[in-house]
Amino acid sequence: MILLAGRWRPFIPAGVKPLSDYSSQGRKHCSVLSYVCQETSGGYYDSTLIQWRPLGSISIKGETKAMKEKIQELKARLGEINDLNSAINLLYWDQTTYMPPAGGAARGRQMATLGRLAQEKLSDPAVGELLAGLEEFEQTLTYEDDEAALFRVARRDYERATRVPAQFVADFYAHTSESYEVWAKARPDNDFAAVAPYLEKTLDFSRRYADFFPGYEHIADPLIDLSDYGMKAETVRRLFAELRERLVPIAQAISEQPEIDDGCLAFFYPEEAQLAFGREVIEAIGYDFRRGRQDKTAHPYMTKFSLNDVRITTRVKQNRLDEALFGSLHETGHALYELGINQAYEGTPLAKGISSGVHESQSRLWENQVGRSRVFWNHYYHKLQGVFPEQLGSVTAGEFYRAINKVQRSLIRTDADEVTYNLHVMIRFDLELALLEGKLTIKDLPDAWQARYESDLGCRAPDDRDGVLQDMHWYDGFIGGAFQGYTLGNIMSAMFFKAAIQARPQILDDISQGEFRALHEWLKENIYRHGRKFTAEEIVQRVTGEPLTIEPYIHYLQKKFGELYQL
Ligand SMILES: [Zn+2]
């Protein structure tokens, strides 16, 4: 950029293409070239950083040539780390979708190598020096400036990475890859003994990870912080206790009412037709198949290789209509979040959802607040009946709506209804803490699991397949920090959905017409596009005007299920 006669004038070398996303600058219809022709413009195009910047976001003397070089070098280094992590995601995606089973051992080694390289690059003292060298410049930027956010988040990642040896990361990748393979076989075989030694190691890895962060209040804190930055075991415990006190009476009152008949969901539903219908729905809510794809896996998840390649996976049961459908809506919610991040953040640590809680708020919002609502099925039920006339021809929309919202004591968390779901999460969270605290051993875990399911949900799994082996958590990641995000997400989803409807009251009417743009755009504008720029706490406050509270969620459950069960 060149400064002439006291006025910013843009210098755009030939070949520099305008960026496509100006919406975050509130200049939707203005291309770079036409914009910069306006001499009274409120900003300039920074050709070195390939970024449009508003005037006032930067001090003139702050951004020297040396500073620019530092920023460029930092971005280049962070870009390489991002590439390595994306490659790890791709290897993992392949492992859980198409890889032949015998490929497991080599895959573990490959992921371990990339994981170690990424860790070495991130904890390289040169990154720390660059960040330190940019601190003064950072202080001249506003908190909301993209670059300030980049430095802030990169520093947080860097400081965390310097605590954890690269070899530990490599060993952990190799271990979890193997552990996942053993679990994938042990679950159908109902063989807890096969995974137990792996879980012992995972617990040891988890404790060692926590020990890299001495001074924690609770041993789970560093692990919770990894997925829900800023959260602590004690905060989560308090929040869960408060929620539990309000949830249990709702679940209790429902259990005293006549059971809902959900038999219509358990007819034979051919896989192809289920997937085709699901695809139509997720495309309608905004999933762009030119920037993503859907494949089958054992335990569904969303993954990302770039901001323009965000994939979802699903699981189909031909004797259960709700599994693939709501699973797809759930993963699409995660994917819409990643796809909606400001494209200018590509390759930087900002190009990611904030935390597991905020991420889960988006998947649960689309799955439940939208997908399990009456208004949604006002539009989609006759379409679904059209796809499955034999199965659903004589089932009314009201009966179907009741079936997909049936509340029952159940064994599998991912299949649980909205009322009891959090009770599953609380069990898992408490078991994680007990394991980390040393109050529970791996050997005793299956029994402890059964005891808690009996006392909290009044049911007992016939064997470990539907008990301690039910999902891949703990088998492909740390023990600790894996579960609180689900319930935080439920709580936030109600806060966000309420705020969206307050801001754009037409959203519910739109949904009943199969039109989702207003909601999607609102979420993009208020949550998605920011990536990791703000913390979860900040985004909740910005979007809803208040700190995290369970009230909107409780209100939502009371209203919806009060009506369904005539409480
Ligand atoms: Zn999820």
Q: What is the 3-state secondary structure (H, E, C) of 207-242?
A: HHHHHCCCCCCCCCHHHHHHHCCCCCHHHHHHHHHH
Whole-number Å distance, alpha carbon 176 to ligand 1 midpoint, is 20
Compute the distance between CA of residue 129 and CA of residue 120 in angstroms, rounded to an integer: 15
Compute the distance between CA of residue 320 and CA of residue 217 in angstroms, rounded to an integer: 44
Q: What is the mean pLDDT of the chain?
A: 89
- Number of Cβ within 10 Å of residue 111's Cβ equals 22
Whole-number Å distance, alpha carbon 362 to ligand 1 midpoint, is 8
The answer, yes or no, to whether residue 16 has pLDDT greater than 50, is no
* Residue 548, pLDDT score: 97
Chain segment 400-420, per-residue pLDDT in tens: 999 999 999 999 998 899 999
* Mean pLDDT on 432-461: 96
Compute the distance between CA of residue 33 and CA of residue 17 in angstroms, rounded to an integer: 9
Chain segment 265-276, per-residue pLDDT in tens: 999 999 999 999
Chain segment 188-238, per-residue pLDDT in tens: 999 999 999 999 999 999 999 999 999 999 999 999 999 999 999 999 999
* Mean pLDDT on 497-506: 98
Whole-number Å distance, alpha carbon 359 to ligand 1 midpoint, is 7
Catalytic-role residue among 178, 331, 367, 432: 331
Q: Is 69 a catalytic residue?
A: no
Whole-number Å distance, alpha carbon 135 to ligand 1 midpoint, is 36
Any idea where the domains of the chain sit in the sequence? 2-54, 65-200, 227-564
* CATH code linked to domain 227-564: 1.10.1370.30
Whole-number Å distance, alpha carbon 357 to ligand 1 midpoint, is 9
Whole-number Å distance, alpha carbon 372 to ligand 1 midpoint, is 16
The answer, yes or no, to whether residue 393 has pLDDT greater than 80, is yes
Whole-number Å distance, alpha carbon 528 to ligand 1 midpoint, is 16
Amino acid at 352: K
* Residue 46, pLDDT score: 45
> How big is the chain by its Cα radius of gyration, in Å?
25
The answer, yes or no, to whether residue 521 has pLDDT greater than 50, is yes
